[in-house]
Structure 1
Amino acid sequence: MAINRRQFLKSSAALAIFYSLPSFAQTRLAVEAAIFGKLPAPENIHRVISSGPPSDLLMFALAPEKMVGFASISLKKGQTGLFAPQWLELPVYGRLAGRGSTLSLEQLLSYSPDLIIDTGNIDETYRSQAEKVAKQTHVPYLLIAGGLKDSPQQLTQLGEILGVIPQAQTLSQLAQRYINDATLFANQNQQKSLSFYLARGAKGLETGAKGSIHTEAIEMLGLRNVVDIPNFHGLTTVSMEQLYQWNPDIIITQYDESIELMTNSALWRGLDAIANNQLLLFSGMPFGWLDGPPGVNRLLGMRRLQSHFDKNIAANIKHDIAEFFTHFYHSSLTAQQVELLMEKSWMMYWDKGEDPFY
């Protein structure tokens, strides 16, 4: 059971909405933010352990100077020069949350953390683990639940806890603007909704079902996920036969290997989306644009995806990419770096000079 929750929730409202469980579950559970142990005052939080990839990026956006390191994200991957040198030197110590935990409690204590943080898709398993770790280590463990649309509140809450309120306000406002624009776009194009398939992995046959955290950024724009499984909102594997039945308008992937397979395989080229060059690739970064992890990184991915269909967003997308890197990733990109990121998040559709919405 969470303790000191009243103290934690006093400064901001609890998030109390439904979230999809991990891929192995087929139900949904109401969860909210919670603290296990005594939450330190902001001025006493200097060393923070992030439990997993989503909290890696949330912490990096808000207070990289307080990070012990990253749970699993290495900023050295992808395009070089995207991040400042001091952040590249942060260690990758292993995950603490979930089934793939690799950080032992002995290693955790060796970092002398003041606080442990996890965020995102929190279920009872995560809550139980947080309580257990807090009791065994005497290090307070904070869980902040929420989906992509809750990013502004997540940023505000954690910013208050860490004592970085001005930074949190800047990030929260930017996140809310992106979410508002996406929601408006979705509402304006309800009658023109394109169907999509998100191809994960080198073979492209792993995907997120409708309502999953893996496709949340795409669905927020009003695009319709062809993988609609009743009472299931996680990762799943599909067959080529199913893809032919669904025949999505657009295929989206974050894997260069998938693009190579799809464009060279006669079986994949038989799909209308591939045959009509309606294929979109997001790559070039050490983590995903739209997923992998399902964190605040998805805000920029959603913005870039919207720019492919919304002329108003497309007009300023280069500025938006640079602005996001400045505030969320503490990096001032050159014009050349922005151009390369644009090239790494391209859509074949535009080779035809057509516009699917206007």
Structure 2
Amino acid sequence: MKCPKAGRLLQVLSFSLVLLALALNVWPREITDMAGRRVIVPDIIRRAYSSSPPVTYLITAIDPTLLVGLNFPIAEGGKEYLPKCMHSLPVLGGFFGKGRTANIEMIMKAKPDVIVMGGPKTSSMTEKYESTLKNLGIPFVYVYFDTVADYTEAFRFLGQLFNKEERTARLGKYGKDVLAEIGQTVEAIPADRRPRVYYAEDKDGLATDCDRSYHAELINLVGARNVHRCTPKDTMGMERISFEQVVLYNPEVILVKEEEFFRKIFRDPGWRRIKAVREKRVYLIPGIPFNWFDRPPSFMRFLGVQWLMNCLYPQHYGKDMIKETGAFYRLFLGVAPTEKQIHRIIYG
């Protein structure tokens, strides 16, 4: 015998569950992440936690209101170049092997709909923390980027994840167009016009990265020659070298990460023996709100590679960096700095 009342009750209950799922935005969908994993995530994601600064910055460019927290505090002077919604976000740490470790309790309290793990494919850090992530009961996905060119694909994947395909397509296209323009310009520059470059890190300038390290990728990308030619010991890089070795390298250009070192390099008698210092071809890498070159590597490299081309090849690549920086900050960061502010960002 049929039970029509029970059947109707089940239909009403099923319909109610559908309405509830829609109201709570928890209707599931499957997405394949960049590690090839099939992951069930909510159809509409409103809250996301990122495991590392490069990924946090990617989400910042896509939609900063998605972020439930930061990996470490915003750098001094950086807030005015970031959306206001980020200014009061809690610092939750991260899973990237250095600096602030992830505060699991605070992450759980933040209630992210998804956790985005990311970095180079060669890093073992994400796998190291996978057991911890599985215990949280929050879906997590992987996004990978080993080179600057990979950011276009990373944007595409995150666009799918967050249902922001139109936005990420625009960001990815900007990067793709810039890299194509750089490649064409570099091809036309004679080999004898491409300088030998030293990337000076740390407060004394005596840490650097190998030419094969993704940390120093922009040097290769612009056709210059990284004087520190070697294979990286690990993904963290920033290898210590002696001042005597720098003297032997005698670079034609020095790129400086730390402002403290930049302020003293021209006054130091030892460093003045080096060609780049004598000829005043020492450049402080812009770092507001995020570094344009490295530490951490991010989509800011799309702008950083243009800045570096301008520094090394002004006769071949005479782009107006004040204008380009303003356009970049408006597109990627949603802020409109004045020319005076941009000049301070680039030239200190």
CA RMSD of aligned residues (A): 2.2
> Quick one: distance in 2 between partners of 1:49 and 1:180?
32
Shift of 1:188: 2.0
Shift of 1:339: 2.4
Look up the equivalent residue of 1:140 and give its one-letter code: P
User: Which residue number corresponds to residue 70 of structure 2?
Assistant: 70
**2:187 maps to 1:183:** no
Task: Please say if residues 199 and 207 of structure 1, whose CA atoms lie closer than 8 Å, have aligned partners that are also in contact.
Answer: yes
Shift of 1:230: 4.2
Look up the equivalent residue of 2:230 and give its one-letter code: I
Shift of 1:81: 2.6
User: Which residue number corresponds to residue 49 of structure 2?
Assistant: 49
Task: Please say if residues 286 and 346 of structure 2, whose CA atoms lie closer than 8 Å, have aligned partners that are also in contact.
Answer: no
**2:249 maps to 1:246:** yes
> Quick one: distance in 2 between partners of 1:180 and 1:73?
34
User: Which residue number corresponds to residue 323 of structure 1?
Assistant: 327
Task: Please say if residues 197 and 225 of structure 2, whose CA atoms lie closer than 8 Å, have aligned partners that are also in contact.
Answer: yes
Find the partner of 1:335 among 305, 317, 339.
339
Shift of 1:34: 4.5
Query: What is the TM-score normalised by the length of structure 1?
Result: 0.81
1:177-256 counterparts in 2 under 5 A? Answer: 177-189=177-189, 191=191, 192-230=193-231, 232=233, 234-256=237-259
> Quick one: distance in 1 between partners of 2:79 and 2:124?
37
> Quick one: distance in 2 between partners of 1:337 and 1:40?
41
> Quick one: distance in 2 between partners of 1:207 and 1:124?
19
**1:144-200, Cα deviation, whole Å (9 max, x unpaired):** 112212111111111111111111011001111111122222222251221100101
Look up the equivalent residue of 1:280 and give its one-letter code: Y
Taking only the aligned residue pairs, the percentage that are identical comes to 23
> Quick one: distance in 2 between partners of 1:178 and 1:42?
33
User: Which residue number corresponds to residue 91 of structure 2?
Assistant: 92
Query: What is the TM-score normalised by the length of structure 2?
Result: 0.83
1:1-358 counterparts in 2 under 5 A? Answer: 7-8=31-32, 33-35=35-37, 38-43=39-44, 45-74=45-74, 77-78=76-77, 81-100=80-99, 102-123=101-122, 125-146=124-145, 147-189=147-189, 191=191, 192-230=193-231, 232=233, 234-283=237-286, 285-308=288-311, 309-311=313-315, 313-344=317-348
Shift of 1:293: 0.8
Look up the equivalent residue of 1:145 and give its one-letter code: Y
> Quick one: distance in 2 between partners of 1:184 and 1:42?
41
Look up the equivalent residue of 2:330 and give its one-letter code: T
> Quick one: distance in 2 between partners of 1:231 and 1:74?
29
Distance 1:285 1:7, change over 3 A: closer
Shift of 1:229: 1.2
Shift of 1:46: 1.2
Shift of 1:335: 2.3
Aligned residues: 314
> Quick one: distance in 2 between partners of 1:279 and 1:101?
31
> Quick one: distance in 1 between partners of 2:280 and 2:291?
22
> Quick one: distance in 1 between partners of 2:342 and 2:94?
31
Shift of 1:225: 0.4
User: Which residue number corresponds to residue 21 of structure 1?
Assistant: none
Task: Please say if residues 210 and 231 of structure 2, whose CA atoms lie closer than 8 Å, have aligned partners that are also in contact.
Answer: no
> Quick one: distance in 2 between partners of 1:317 and 1:286?
16
Distance 1:342 1:107, change over 3 A: closer
Per chain length, whose mean CA-contact separation is higher, i.e. which structure has more relative contact order (CA < 8 Å, sep 6+)? 1
Q: Secondary structure at the match of 2:124?
A: helix
More displaced 10-residue stretch of structure 1: 249-258 or 181-190: 181-190
Largest Rg, 1 or 2: 2
**1:234-276, Cα deviation, whole Å (9 max, x unpaired):** 3311111111111111001121111123111111111111011
Shift of 1:115: 1.0
**1:287-306, Cα deviation, whole Å (9 max, x unpaired):** 31101111112221111111
Structure 2: 5+ residue stretches without partners: 1-29
> Quick one: distance in 2 between partners of 1:49 and 1:79?
20
Shift of 1:203: 0.3
Q: Secondary structure at the match of 1:251?
A: strand
Q: Secondary structure at the match of 1:117?
A: strand
> Quick one: distance in 1 between partners of 2:244 and 2:31?
53
Q: Secondary structure at the match of 1:96?
A: coil
